[in-house]
Structure 1
Amino acid sequence: MPVIERIAELDPEVREAITAPLDTFSRERGFVWQPEPLALALRDDEGRVAGGAIGETNWGWLHIRILAVSEALRGQDWGSRLIRELERLAVERGCHHTWVDTFSFQARPFYERLGYRVFGTLPDYPVGHERYFLSKSLLPSASTPAI
């Protein structure tokens, strides 16, 4: 008889076995899940990593998972530069949209200044705050002439 087992540490083999039925189901319908990592490091004047961005591209979308800039470099446009470079690289890979999530105590206004719009909200995550999901088209708009 099947049983449900709690796993304290998820090793790659068990993860693969758990996701295999979902992967097979999606592939049979023409959707192959093969995200390609995309990462940028921000280095300070001494060459130390002082932040960066981590994302992945799949199915024509860029998903920005992490954006971080050290306190010493904040307010100097490094976050915007990292996002613009991720978006540029994603377009080179054929992406047409991007999405990110952030929290009410983090960077929603930052992403909105870069053209992202909220498409979903998760209230009380964490309690007393909200988690926002934002997206943006990477395609030039019809009213904006292509350069």
Structure 2
Amino acid sequence: MEIVFEPDVLPETRAAILEGLIRYNEQQTAGRFPPPRFIALALRDPQTGTTVGGLTARIAYSRMFVELLYIPEHLRGQGFGADLIGQAEDVARREGCTGIWLDTFSFQAPGFYKKLGYDEFGTLAEYPPGFTRHYLHKTLS
């Protein structure tokens, strides 16, 4: 075996790693959980049908992980972020999730998530240098 650096991940490399890890995790958890699923809530311009922002998330092991959330600057402050998070929480509940977790940088929106009931469970200082990465979770009922 050899270790080969790929500066841009080949799709087949990612697939081999992900599929192997999913199989291993299924064995370790006795198959109690379905494989991870990916969902999106797209923020679309109704006139053009163009996606301008939204949210992507992964559902796995009874939790939803919000991977990405983006609202274009001209649409910020109009409630779209809270609506996206609220709809993600609704999807998570329907899927049987017990909670949602996410991370955000100090220059992004930690206060926004805290206002929505998310509790910080960790930070990573100086990532990127001069800033902090915040990890937050919300238990769903």
Q: 8 Å contact 1:38–1:86 — kept in the other structure?
A: no
- 1:103 deviation in Å? 0.4
Q: CA RMSD in A?
A: 1.8
Q: Which moved more, 1:64-73 or 1:82-91?
A: 64-73
Structure-2-length-normalised TM-score: 0.87
- 1:42 deviation in Å? 1.3
Q: 8 Å contact 1:98–1:135 — kept in the other structure?
A: yes
Query: How many equivalent pairs are there?
Result: 138
Structure 1 match to 2:45: 44
1:75 aligned to which of 66, 74, 77? 77
Matched residue SS, 2:120? strand
Q: 8 Å contact 1:121–1:133 — kept in the other structure?
A: yes
Distance in 2 of aligned mates of 1:71 and 1:63: 24
Structure 1 segments unaligned to the other structure (5+ residues): 140-147
* Change over 3 Å in CA distance of 1:4–1:119 after alignment to 2: same
* Change over 3 Å in CA distance of 1:102–1:22 after alignment to 2: same
Structure with greater Cα Rg: 1
- 1:61 deviation in Å? 0.4
Q: Which moved more, 1:72-81 or 1:27-36?
A: 27-36
| Fraction of identical pairs, as percent | 38
Structure 2 segments unaligned to the other structure (5+ residues): none
Q: 8 Å contact 2:22–2:35 — kept in the other structure?
A: no
* Change over 3 Å in CA distance of 1:45–1:25 after alignment to 2: closer
**Runs of 4+ off more than 4 Å:** none
